[in-house]
Amino acid sequence: MVDLSVNISKIKMKNPVMVSSGTFGFGEEFSKIFDISLLGGLVVKGITLKPKLGNKPPRIAETPSGILNSIGLQNPGVKSFIKDKLPKLKKYNVPILVNIAGKTLEEYVELTKILNTEGVSGIEVNISCPNVRYEKGRLFAQSEKDVYNITKNVKKVSKFPVIVKLSPEVTDIRVIAKAAEEGGADALSVMNTITGMAIDINTKRPKLGNVVGGLSGPAIKPIGIRCVWQVYNTVKIPIIGMGGIMNEFDALEYIIAGASAIAIGTANFIEPFTCLNVIDGIKNYLIKNKISGVKDLVGTLEIK
């Protein structure tokens, strides 16, 4: 037997496989296909203070080895989430992490206070979504000062572990990761999507209603692995690696680079059972290589 369990701060997970925010809805659709209690963790669709309609369509555009999305954080708002969505999720034996997004520091703090309720296992602070307009006209994740301040103030009021979601679109992700750690982050999600765009050559118009969107899928995996490796060698808190994971081999690369857990996103749209397949694949790899637990594999990259 091998031990697949991992701890992300105080969040105890039966295995290291989670789902990325925005790719699994609120779990309702997937719960009709398989038992979502088998997951290591479930990160729900991004939540804002008030209901949000999101960006104008088209919102999705396929690209070679990936997809561009410009959903714009469409969601029912935090009060509706707590009333209508959370009770259904609480019946599953899986940690529920709530991804929160705001336009100001104050909105992140207010969201966190409201979410200090039974059934929530952790907060994922989304300061890096490329599909929304922030107060300062750029991502909070692109400012060392903003990352520190938001993390510090959210941590101050949260009853649960605080995970900060970083962007690869920075000069040096190590500096930003360190700012989040110094602000009190319990863990880091590395990484969010990368801004891109696509053009219809016949109409000479953007394929997305918002012009630009977040690129996800296999195309960004090498960037994600690089970011995880850099952050792992910079901070001492756990990392959740994500970006282009389609199978257990991709997941294992992230773990060896330094991720204590991984999150699967785009692959859920292609093959709904990807998460379960990855869990089995990691288990078989550990058995084959006589590794007693997945924790022993984290950060084992050898560089001569």
- First and final C-alpha spacing in the chain: 32
Could you confirm whether 129 is annotated as catalytic? Answer: yes
In angstroms, rounded to a whole number, what is the distance separating the alpha carbons of residues 133 and 239?
Answer: 26
Beta strands across the sheet bearing 66-69? 60-63, 66-69, 212-216, 194-197
In angstroms, rounded to a whole number, what is the distance separating the alpha carbons of residues 103 and 184?
Answer: 21
Residue type at position 160: F
Q: Is the distance from CB of 145 to CB of 62 less than 8 angstroms? A: no
Q: Which helix (H) or strand (E) holds 175?
A: helix 173-182
Pair of tokens at residue 167: 């962007």
Q: Which of 42, 67, 109, 129 is catalytic?
A: 129
Q: Is the distance from CB of 183 to CB of 203 less than 8 angstroms? A: no
Closest CA to 97 of 216, 246, 263: 263
Q: ∠ CA(14), CA(127), CA(65), 5° rounding? A: 70
Query: Active-site residues: which are they?
Result: 129
